[in-house]
Structure 1
């Protein structure tokens, strides 16, 4: 039996293509952002840790993607290369966007000086990284009639948004716990957890090319899951405000005066309001997801 030898060849075209140039800019912008902050040690607390993690994580994974495509190792990776890069790019948009909002909000010093200049520069490069990742998502998402991975479609990209929004809800609802005052609020937490887990499962199945493991057709599973998520989030959208802002159910309809004293963090009432808004945002995302999933025919994951 003849022996087939394979040689690894580099693909320089991947670096000078439009998407490759965008990824090089992403590496540059995120590297400059975290380098400026690290140079002046201009971050602290968990919010600062999140900003640094976002920039460093996006920098490292983008560099990995560039290396894999330059070396032509896509076929050897244990993930679907039709789904992984754009899935990461969508999460990178959300991570860099959150860092671009959080960092100046919590760390931009009011006094002018060298520290402030570094912080402004870091925020600027974080915003540039966000724009670069948005461009990558726009360039690599599925076009009409194109056969590609599920995560490159609108419902696939929405899965990333839904999971990210759920993560933000978990942060607000758990520090301190504001769901243990009533069983109805625990139900809302269960809704957020169930939908989050199912969205993560869909992403893992697509990126890992494991959709064939499902006992039913993947498109039917997506439609059923989207319908379930809409119903669950619709109920949470009603229950959460009732038991947090209705005085008859132990809620507080108006913002307490004590919330004004919170300069570096949100008070309980602000977090309750933020969760209500994010619940509405995710409900809209799931409704759009359901509409797209119900008419999705082309999928090849």
Structure 2
């Protein structure tokens, strides 16, 4: 967990430094990605990554350190991680598109929702990294397929915008976004029903109570037991479904509403 947090902070520092160099050197035209879309996309990801580090680092690492300089340094790192998260979130709020403003897609609400959807999917993948959680039931394997397919589709939409390749699609890009959002909503709706049903219903081999899971009886500093993982995935599935529903509403307006 400490390594994950360190990776997050180093990655955010390195990319922010690159953005500063490009801005100060006036090299936006030579940058390989769309400069209208890249900075806010990165800022949104950085805010989410720093938020995760600000939660994970103190709860799974700092509280188990003995009192001393190392603990004080870790607390200071957590504090600055929270400040960085607020700074990135402020940048996203400040640079996002306003009504009537012409800007890149990633600065709009649907674009930012795409970032949230892919990030939540990545967290889901972290929780289901143990195949034991889903390989015993084909229905649960379908849920994993849903998470993977929707993640790939959202990532493709983001990459098309970052590379300014939206005109390469055989259909209009707004129609592609609406179809993508509708498909994802339908897929996630099935996962929201199937995952809790097969994980927490005894009739389908699930465990309705945490005490029934033997792996949850042993406390380990860096270990999240299987039942907690199942519950986290169920909650994250609901969060991503809400994000996709909001994405569908905004994307549909791009197609059917004429301003």
What interval of TM-score do these two structures reach, taking the shorter chain for normalisation? over 0.9
1:187-226 superposed matches below 5 A: 187-226=142-181
Residue 266 (str. 1) matches residue 189 (str. 2): no
Counterpart of 1:25 in structure 2 is: none
User: In 1, Cα distance between the equivalents of 2:125 and 2:76?
Assistant: 30
Cα distance per residue 1:276-300 (max 9 Å; x no partner)? 0000000000001011111126xxx
Of residues 263-272 and 50-59 in structure 1, the stretch that sits farther from structure 2 once superposed is 263-272
- Residue 107 of structure 1 and its aligned partner are, at CA, apart by 1.2
Counterpart of 2:7 in structure 1 is: 53
Correspondent of 1:283 among 241, 246, 249: 241
User: In 1, Cα distance between the equivalents of 2:220 and 2:99?
Assistant: 47
User: In 1, Cα distance between the equivalents of 2:29 and 2:182?
Assistant: 35
Counterpart of 1:65 in structure 2 is: 19
- Residue 256 of structure 1 and its aligned partner are, at CA, apart by 2.3
User: In 1, Cα distance between the equivalents of 2:178 and 2:192?
Assistant: 21
User: In 1, Cα distance between the equivalents of 2:192 and 2:169?
Assistant: 30
User: Quick check: 1:226–1:290 contact (8 Å CA) kept in 2?
Assistant: yes
Correspondent of 1:139 among 86, 94, 119: 94
User: In 1, Cα distance between the equivalents of 2:147 and 2:244?
Assistant: 12
User: Quick check: 1:155–1:292 contact (8 Å CA) kept in 2?
Assistant: yes
User: In 2, Cα distance between the equivalents of 1:92 and 1:277?
Assistant: 22
SS of alignment partner, residue 261 of structure 1? coil
Counterpart of 1:99 in structure 2 is: 53
After TM superposition, the score normalised by the length of structure 1 is: 0.81
Residue 86 (str. 1) matches residue 40 (str. 2): yes
SS of alignment partner, residue 66 of structure 1? helix
User: In 2, Cα distance between the equivalents of 1:288 and 1:262?
Assistant: 39
Of residues 172-181 and 162-171 in structure 1, the stretch that sits farther from structure 2 once superposed is 172-181
- Residue 112 of structure 1 and its aligned partner are, at CA, apart by 2.0
Counterpart of 2:136 in structure 1 is: 181
Q: Give the paired residue count.
A: 252
- Residue 110 of structure 1 and its aligned partner are, at CA, apart by 5.2
User: Quick check: 1:256–1:269 contact (8 Å CA) kept in 2?
Assistant: no
After TM superposition, the score normalised by the length of structure 2 is: 0.94
Counterpart of 2:194 in structure 1 is: 239
- Residue 262 of structure 1 and its aligned partner are, at CA, apart by 2.8
Cα distance per residue 1:170-212 (max 9 Å; x no partner)? 1111235411010000000000000000000000000000001
**5+ residue gaps in structure 2?**
none
User: In 2, Cα distance between the equivalents of 1:174 and 1:274?
Assistant: 13
User: In 1, Cα distance between the equivalents of 2:210 and 2:241?
Assistant: 24
User: In 1, Cα distance between the equivalents of 2:250 and 2:117?
Assistant: 15
1:102-141 superposed matches below 5 A: 102-108=56-62, 109=64, 111-141=66-96
Cα distance per residue 1:49-104 (max 9 Å; x no partner)? 21111000000000000100100010111110000000000000011000000110
